Structure 1
Amino acid sequence: MTDVPERDVLVARLTAVRERIDRAAVAAGRASGDVRLLLATKTMPATVIRAALAADAAMRADDDRLAPVLIGENRVQELVAKGPDLVDLSPATHLIGPLQSNKVNAALRWATCVESVESLDLARRIAARAGERPVDVCVQVNVSGEPTKHGVPAEEAVDLALGVVALDGVRLVGFMTVGAHSTDDLVVRTGYALLRQVRDRVLDSGAPGTAGARELSMGMSRDLEAAVAEGATIVRVGTAVFGSRTA
């Protein structure tokens, strides 16, 4: 069983991460409020997530400038398993891992945004199962070209995005990527800059439905500064808040 960190510990970790985001934003000439924090909760039980949300709420009670954290789940089975235990808190929960077509219905019960759309077929399946309101989605782009990473190749991302915005039932809100697995900051930043360029090409197209596609979900505990420098609007942080994972 995973121990639940003390609230003071979680507050300290959240504070440290927010300070990193703030410093990176200032260094890039941006406002810290431009970047939202998403807690990557893979393998974390609902008790730990509730404690993190409580710590976040306590921080926001002392500083109303802070935006609520988002939650990001990598696996649909975890999303479904934890959903009932978090429903009373109404967290904004993003699916940040791959979504198989046979799990779309299950995912949409709990996810407020699917960040991992990497094909038009998947977007169509999500749209077909949307309720009265369109489902927020991001196009996932493989900016590094690494075969182990999910996402559409960068050269195909604009066409995919334009196909997604033509669908009823989904709303394209932006783009997501996992940064290059490299210790070279320039390599990592180049990938994040590429995602920003993809986003900007879609916005500049002027196609109907593209005006709201401004999110850039990129950057994690190890490289959030590089992501913020290149325009991230969402950074996905797990280890820096929850500690090392056991799975």
Structure 2
Amino acid sequence: MPQDTELARRLQAVTLRIVNAARHADRPAPALLAVGKTRDAGEIDALCALRIALGEARSGFGENYVQEAAGKIEALANRPIEWHLIGHLQSNKARQAAELFDWVQTIDRPKLVAALARHRPPRRAPLNALVQVNIDDEGSKHGCRPADVPALAAAIAAEPRLVLRGLMAIPAPHPDPGRRRGAFARMRALYEALAAAHPTVDTLSMGMSDDLEQAIAEGATLVRVGTALFGPRERR
């Protein structure tokens, strides 16, 4: 099967999963963020073309690494792509991230808030910001504690060069779907409380290739999908 045909098949399958899950949960279908980690600009360009053909005015793509993303963003500058940073952001990469991305989904400490605001170029719209939450309190995961969300969100909301849009999480990959859904439910509760306090909050980023149905059932407004779209990725 030609590569672009296989890509179209995968996109159709993922879209159907999202639509069916939303219908089953009686919730609005979330936006799809295609994760381009380890994928080259040509692969992203091909998927972007398919999404444009389906009527998307602007496609969301997520990248884990600032340096890896930089070349792709430059190569695809003429494509209608909204670029999201979804990987851990080191403080020394904050300037470049603020210059390159439309969204940063992984803000988990006050130092990043100040750095991103300081380095966001005046010529660009304010940077869309999500607070990353370590919802399962995993020692190996980045993200703030749930109790720290209000203060961190308030710090973002106070910066004119940032816009607080919501929350992001990567729950523990527990084999029991019910356990994962419990984490998603806790995220939804945090999100609803945050939205009640901040009128700009409209995004709950959670759910990936293997658990997007559970995330949608609990109210995800954006799901991050890589493997189910592009196939298994090469190890770095």
Equivalent residue in structure 2 for 1:14, among 11, 16, 25? 11
- Aligned-CA RMSD value: 1.4
Shift of 1:244: 0.4
Equivalent runs, 1:212-227 vs 2, <5 Å: 212-227=200-215
Shift of 1:67: 6.5
- Contact 1:24–1:228 (CA<8 Å) still a contact in 2? yes
Q: Secondary structure at the match of 1:109?
A: helix
Equivalent residue in structure 2 for 1:168, among 149, 152, 160? 160
Q: Is 1:56–2:51 an aligned residue pair? A: yes
For 1:191, the equivalent position in structure 2 comes to: 183
Letter of the aligned partner of 2:222 in structure 1? I
Shift of 1:146: 1.1
CA distance in 2, matches of 1:67, 1:138: 23
CA deviations over 1:4-23 (Å, ceiling 9, x no partner): x6222111111100100011
TM-score for the superposition, normalised by structure 2 = 0.94
Show structure 1 runs of 4+ deviating over 4 A: none
- Contact 2:134–2:145 (CA<8 Å) still a contact in 1? yes
Letter of the aligned partner of 2:4 in structure 1? R
For 2:26, the equivalent position in structure 1 comes to: 29
CA distance in 1, matches of 2:161, 2:51: 32
Letter of the aligned partner of 2:36 in structure 1? T
For 1:99, the equivalent position in structure 2 comes to: 89
- Contact 2:99–2:120 (CA<8 Å) still a contact in 1? no
Shift of 1:46: 0.5
CA deviations over 1:13-35 (Å, ceiling 9, x no partner): 11100100011101111133xx1
- Runs of at least 5 residues in structure 1 that lack an aligned partner in the other structure: 61-65
For 1:231, the equivalent position in structure 2 comes to: 219
The count of aligned residue pairs is 232
- Contact 1:36–1:69 (CA<8 Å) still a contact in 2? no
TM-score for the superposition, normalised by structure 1 = 0.90
CA distance in 1, matches of 2:200, 2:5: 37
- Contact 1:112–1:136 (CA<8 Å) still a contact in 2? yes
- Contact 1:79–1:107 (CA<8 Å) still a contact in 2? no
For 2:66, the equivalent position in structure 1 comes to: 76
Letter of the aligned partner of 1:128 in structure 2? R
Q: Is 1:41–2:36 an aligned residue pair? A: yes
Shift of 1:159: 2.1
- Contact 1:158–1:201 (CA<8 Å) still a contact in 2? no
Q: Secondary structure at the match of 1:94?
A: strand
Q: Secondary structure at the match of 1:216?
A: strand
